[in-house]
Amino acid sequence: MTVLLAGITYTDRVCIAVTAPQIMRDLHLSQVEMSLVFSAFTLAYALFEIPTGWWGDRVGTRRVLTRIVAWWSTFTMLTGAAANYGWLLVTRFLFGCGEAGAWPNVARTFSEWFPVTERGTAQGIFFMGAHLAGGLTPLLVTALLAHLRWRALFAIFGSVGFVWSAAWYWWFRDRPGEHPAANEEERAYIAAGCGVRKLARGSTDWGGLLGNGSVAALCLMYFTQSYGFNFYVTWLPGYLRTVRGFSGWMLGVLAGLPLMLSVAADLLGGITTDRMTRRYGLRTGRAAVGGASLAVAGVLLLGGTAVSNAMASAVMIGLAGAASNFLLGAAWSTCIDLGGENSGVLSAAMNTSGQVGGIVCPLVFGYAVQHWGNWTLPLGVMGVLYLAGAVCWAGVRPVSFLWGGGPGR
């Protein structure tokens, strides 16, 4: 069910990046105005991420995820009804308000249903669903645009979420002990691998959260990762079209390449972090995987920007995007490892930092391209940020500030 949620999320997000030229033409938007539309979603997402993560910690993810998906589906459909720039800007802001907290509440769900040494794999499979949908969406949208207007696409994509919301609320339960399909052996197995918890649901150790150096390093790292990722789901098609000269079906393939490659990276990254955790302990299993991922991403991106061959550039940039996503299982599992009963809030704090990067990224690219006609400079900044994010992992020690030592080394 969470893999389906991830897929629906990314279908809705990526659709607007691919349809941006048609939207800009019909609504008479400039490059900067379209950048502000992209960032309006991310701004709202950042503002409401921590409150919604806290809400999931307090009342459970069954109710909260049902509300989130129903809300964002409504505003996905309303995006297709936008009549002017102001309408579109407000609609995407409200879309972000509704979608905020989805990822933290999924992490909170995994904290209840998966032992420590299986969470990376669970997170990897979850993000695999997101990126598979995101990677296929450019191809799907490109094909549908030959027969439908962009407005119809948002109506179609938005309707799917309502089916998911109803099914989730009917089937899911917040804890294994509450689900009639979970037997005693399964409940005991999960409990044995989840550690000892000190706080009741609804309690939040704000002092431990805000004063923890590992939390700060994790948030800074995720700023760099999400800054880069937002380029892939906003302006990558524009870069490939304008600078590298791709068009038609090849543009659709290469625009979706980073997310398609990320499908394998998500799963392999999740499996790798869990296996290394079992063998070497939590710090090596999480931080080494995360640091190496961003280091490789930075090198590939800078190389892809510098090469003159268009296809080589597109492939290297695609591989850089996949490398940056190799860390997702480690990063989101670290939130659970660190946060324990507050994993929803901590996941939201990390993702909020990421969304700040997501707000800045489209604006930097939009202004650089419109005012200077320069794609190389913002791509270079993105590569350097990836390398800085790799360094941040050195400050992450995934031992819970609640558990007093945690479940691993």
Q: What is the CATH number of the domain that holds 75?
A: 1.20.1250.20
Look at residue 364 and tell me if it is in a domain.
yes
Mean pLDDT of the chain: 86
How far is residue 281 from each of residues 113, 117, 144, 222, 285, measured CA to CA in Å? 21, 10, 48, 22, 6
Which one is predicted more confidently, 137 or 73?
73
What's residue 208's pLDDT?
59
Look at residue 20 and tell me if it is in a domain.
yes
What's residue 58's pLDDT?
85
Look at residue 187 and tell me if it is in a domain.
no
What gap in Å lies between CA 263 and CA 307, rounded to an integer?
25
Buried/exposed 252-284: b ≥16 CB within 10 Å, e otherwise: bbbbbbbbbbbbbbbbbbbebbbebbeeebbbe
Residue 153 structural domain: 2-172+207-395
Can you give the pTM of this predicted structure? 0.77
pLDDT single digits (tens) 259-283: 889 989 999 999 999 999 989 988 8
* CA nearest to 309, candidates 245, 376, 252, 257: 245
Longest dimension (CA), the chain: 64
What's residue 209's pLDDT?
64
Give the count of domains, the chain: 1
What's residue 395's pLDDT?
92
Place of tokens 């007093």: 404
Q: Where are the beta strands (DSSP E) in 210-275?
A: none
Q: What is the mean pLDDT of residues 391-409?
A: 65
Look at residue 264 and tell me if it is in a domain.
yes
| Confidence category of residue 195, pLDDT binned at 50, 70, 90 | low
Look at residue 312 and tell me if it is in a domain.
yes
| Confidence category of residue 210, pLDDT binned at 50, 70, 90 | low
| Confidence category of residue 407, pLDDT binned at 50, 70, 90 | very low
In this prediction, what percent of the chain has a pLDDT beyond 70? 93
Q: Check whether 68 has a pLDDT greater than 90.
A: yes
Q: What is the mean pLDDT of residues 357-373?
A: 82
What's residue 404's pLDDT?
41
Look at residue 188 and tell me if it is in a domain.
no
Look at residue 406 and tell me if it is in a domain.
no
What's residue 211's pLDDT?
65
Query: For the ranges 90-94, 213-217, 360-364, which has the lowest average pLDDT?
Result: 360-364
What's residue 198's pLDDT?
43
Q: What is the DSSP letter of 146?
A: T
Look at residue 298 and tell me if it is in a domain.
yes
Query: Are 168 and 43 within 8 A, CB to CB?
Result: no
